[in-house]
Structure 1
Amino acid sequence: MRTASTPDLKTVLIATGFILTLAMGVRHGFGFWMQPISQAHGWTRETYSLALAVQNLMWGVFGPFAGMAVDKFGTTRVIIIGAVLYAAGLLWMSLIDQPTLFIAGSGILIGAALACTAFGAVSGIIGRTAPEAKRSWAFGMSSAASSFGQFVMMPVEQQLINHSGWQNAFYLLAALLLVVMIPMALRLREPAIIHHDGPQQSIMEAIREAFAHGPFRLLLAGYFVCGFQVVFIAVHMPAYLKDKGIMDPNVAVYALALIGLFNIFGSYYAGKLGGIFPKHYLLSSIYISRTVVIGLFLLAPLSPYSVYIFAAAMGLLWLSTVPLTNGVIAGIFGMKYLSMLSGFVFFSHQLGSFLGVWLGGYIYTKTGNYNMVWMITLALGLFATLINLPINEKPIQRASALAA
């Protein structure tokens, strides 16, 4: 058996917290560039929207491969590569004015960058560093950091665009990513996994084992719903409010910021509760709560105050699924391939995200409203509530030779 000392959990959480704050914070503010870029290049908003949809999809596509790289080569190298790709993607978005190149290049670069710097990339080192009793709490802290990024970076990005221009804002953010992410990545000392004597489980064996395991497939289905719901709301909420007569664009900005603010608390306490109660029951509770909140929002008279209440309630439930889902994966399959398996589950999330963004626009174009998409969102919430209930969190039984 091989053992190694465990790195300091506080250092890991601080370093990954800075990385997630920037990775998720910058990404959440991309909507602010839609109007200035579209006007500068003479595009319809469809072009920029498609670029963001492709980014979400590519984030999911690259996620499992980034996870494999983390599990094989370590978190530090992958995050440094991701920081460089992120900066390159921002520069690409600032310089390219040909629609197809803009969509393909920014989609691939930013998508790959997020796969290397967001949840999937850091889940492995957090899970391997935190003791089992604190693992769910540690995942909650990382989700809270990404939520803080959404809250704090959105006004920063808006001010950069207003005072420096949309192109210079991209340059400044690219420099900030490199200056912060690379030093933080270098502070991540990878803990060694304990290996038992005998042959070890290979990557392909781990993949086959996971996809043959019923609870893993249920997690895939539930996370698809999570992606559909949150990205549909994040992208289409401003347009929905305008359609309903709330013309002040600041209402949507404040609502999205409130989601980020309240998600800090929702993610933290979801992780904390995940160390006390069965995680799959908490996941079901989150999805049914989302369904109730969305239903009440659609039924209540619409006003700025009802929007803010809805945003705060959804914020508590927004990324609270992340620490619980990662905790279930870690509990069932162990630490060795956690980043990779989290990447596969996140790919399902991003498929839902892509469909939520695209279907929202498609159905609106066909019907002139979002009513059908809201109904789909509610139905999916009920589906996810039920699909998480039978998940068995018991660690998978392997032959001792493959224990890791």
Structure 2
Amino acid sequence: MVFSERGEPAGRLGGAALAVVAGAVVISAAMGIRQTFGLFVGSYSAVHDLPVATIAFAIALHNLVWGFAQPLAGAAADRHGSAPVVAVGAALFAAGLTLPALVPTGPMLVLGIGVLVGAGISCTSFGVVLTAVGRAVPAERRSAALGLVSAGGSAGQVLLVPLAQGVTALSGPAVALMALAGCMLAVAPLGLLLDRGERAAMVAGGGAAAASGGGGPAMPLRAAVAQALGNRGYCLLTLGFFTCGFQLAFIATHLPAYLTLCGVATGMGATALALIGLFNMVGSWGCGWLGGRYPQQRLLGWLYLIRGAAIAAFFLGPKTEAAVILFAAVMGLTWLGTVPLTSGLVAKVFGTRHLGTLFGLCFLSHQIGSFLGSWMGGWVFDATGSYGAVWIATAVAGLVAALLHFPIDDTPVALAAPLPAGD
């Protein structure tokens, strides 16, 4: 076996590098496309004469479907590998974008964006991709690698938001949705590289025992889930992750429309979303790097405090172009930094054997928050003509989430299956 200068098998390092690159590209496509949905609220409504609340509900529903499908997608990847899960997810995602482009009605929008995209993104985003990367990378480098993948994934937001806006302006929302569907199909084969990285890590680490974190037989899935749900820190982490979904979904869906209402220059909504993605590249990597050096739960607490303060200051302050740019930069630095820290904390406490399932269950809370943030934004606006109440709620939620994260105990738990009585 060939070893690197650091004493690690060269095959594992190569597999890990491929997994990081492939994971970044897959998440870049999936999350970049998802971040364009806010741009379609106004254009799709105007072209097809649909209420804003209907479009907001479809976008909100995809978050909810994503959340409920994530544990299933994670469990499927745990059992069958990433390649088939990513391929099926990319096909579902592309179909969900194509359907409302070809049949522009409310029900087809809800079925496509709400259901098919929700199922597809559960197979092509954090719960599957970060789990594969987490297994492929040595434990001491895991947090930084997860942050790097999340940061690389932000490139999709930087590239695809302007693409969607440009194609929509030239040819309409239907053509833009079809173009995004093509981008999603292009990344379908990359799950093969994620699997290659996992296999290299298994060979180097001595099989499933390395992944489980212990020398004994791996704990069965049902027992691992029960253990996690009985762990106070896991429950606090799951509750706090709700806030992340609520804040991000509301801003991503309704910020462009809110800026238009405030009289900000046309195009600043797309600029703000692209800037969030650009600064998220730095923020996600930075959070992952810091997570390998400082307690991840405390970093999460501070991240939520900073995000909540930024939201409050933006809502209460003047809506100038400079204020929008500053807000987008701060939000970008804290945007997806929660993901490598949360998934890394789950891996630290419970190991990587059932990481796809355990992070998927935690992520369900995130997506319930996403559903409410996206849908409530549209519902409150239609009912009151203002987004004010939801902006206040997103700011207060940041403080609550911080208070939930600071007390979390990150001590690893035993993961080997208990021996039969008498042994």
Q: Per the shorter chain, which TM-score range?
A: over 0.9
1:240 equivalenced with 2:258 (yes/no): yes
1:254 equivalenced with 2:268 (yes/no): no
Residue in structure 1 matched with residue 189 of structure 2 by the alignment:
183
Instruction: Tell me how far 1:401 sits from its aligned partner.
Output: 4.0
Q: Aligned match of 2:293 in 259, 276, 284?
A: 276
Instruction: Give the counterpart letter for 1:213 in structure 2.
Output: N
Counterparts of residues 129-208 of structure 1 (less than 5 Å): 129-179=136-186, 181-188=187-194, 189=196, 190-191=198-199, 192=202, 193-195=207-209, 200-208=218-226
* RMSD between superposed Cα atoms in Å: 2.0
How many residue pairs get aligned? The number is 397
Residue in structure 2 matched with residue 359 of structure 1 by the alignment:
376
Instruction: Give the counterpart letter for 1:316 in structure 2.
Output: L
Residue in structure 2 matched with residue 342 of structure 1 by the alignment:
359
Give distance in 2, aligned partners of 1:365 and 1:176: 33
C-alpha distance 387-301 of structure 1, shift in aligned 2 (>3 A)? same
C-alpha distance 398-101 of structure 1, shift in aligned 2 (>3 A)? same
1:79 equivalenced with 2:86 (yes/no): yes
Counterparts of residues 42-61 of structure 1 (less than 5 Å): 42-61=49-68
Residue in structure 1 matched with residue 34 of structure 2 by the alignment:
27
Residue in structure 1 matched with residue 5 of structure 2 by the alignment:
none
Residue in structure 1 matched with residue 18 of structure 2 by the alignment:
11
Give distance in 2, aligned partners of 1:277 and 1:150: 28
**Are the counterparts in 2 of residues 59 and 111 from structure 1 also a CA contact under 8 Å?**
yes
C-alpha distance 39-306 of structure 1, shift in aligned 2 (>3 A)? closer
Gaps spanning 5+ residues in structure 1: where? none
C-alpha distance 260-198 of structure 1, shift in aligned 2 (>3 A)? closer
What SS is found at the alignment partner of 2:411? Answer: coil
Give distance in 2, aligned partners of 1:289 and 1:95: 42
TM-score normalised over the length of structure 1: 0.92
TM-score normalised over the length of structure 2: 0.88
1:397 equivalenced with 2:404 (yes/no): no
Instruction: Tell me how far 1:361 sits from its aligned partner.
Output: 2.7
Instruction: Tell me how far 1:197 sits from its aligned partner.
Output: 7.5
Q: Bigger shift: 370-379 or 338-347?
A: 370-379
Instruction: Give the counterpart letter for 1:79 in structure 2.
Output: V
Q: Aligned match of 2:238 in 216, 220, 230?
A: 220
Instruction: Give the counterpart letter for 1:185 in structure 2.
Output: G
Instruction: Tell me how far 1:164 sits from its aligned partner.
Output: 4.3
Residue in structure 1 matched with residue 229 of structure 2 by the alignment:
211
Give distance in 2, aligned partners of 1:400 and 1:65: 22
Instruction: Tell me how far 1:362 sits from its aligned partner.
Output: 2.8
**Are the counterparts in 1 of residues 76 and 85 from structure 2 also a CA contact under 8 Å?**
yes
Instruction: Render the CA deviation track for 1:136-160: whole Å, top value 9, x for unaligned.
Output: 0011011102222111111112223
What SS is found at the alignment partner of 1:187? Answer: helix
**Are the counterparts in 2 of residues 134 and 275 from structure 1 also a CA contact under 8 Å?**
yes
Instruction: Render the CA deviation track for 1:185-207: whole Å, top value 9, x for unaligned.
Output: 22221333423776542221121
Give distance in 2, aligned partners of 1:134 and 1:340: 22
Give distance in 1, aligned partners of 2:318 and 2:48: 39
Q: Bigger shift: 182-191 or 193-202?
A: 193-202
What SS is found at the alignment partner of 1:210? Answer: helix
1:266 equivalenced with 2:272 (yes/no): no
Instruction: Tell me how far 1:32 sits from its aligned partner.
Output: 2.9
**Are the counterparts in 1 of residues 98 and 112 from structure 2 also a CA contact under 8 Å?**
no
Instruction: Render the CA deviation track for 1:245-270: whole Å, top value 9, x for unaligned.
Output: 32x22122211111111111000000
C-alpha distance 111-401 of structure 1, shift in aligned 2 (>3 A)? same
Instruction: Tell me how far 1:290 sits from its aligned partner.
Output: 1.1
Give distance in 2, aligned partners of 1:234 and 1:182: 25
Instruction: Tell me how far 1:163 sits from its aligned partner.
Output: 3.6
Q: Bigger shift: 228-237 or 206-215?
A: 228-237
Instruction: Give the counterpart letter for 2:311 in structure 1.
Output: I
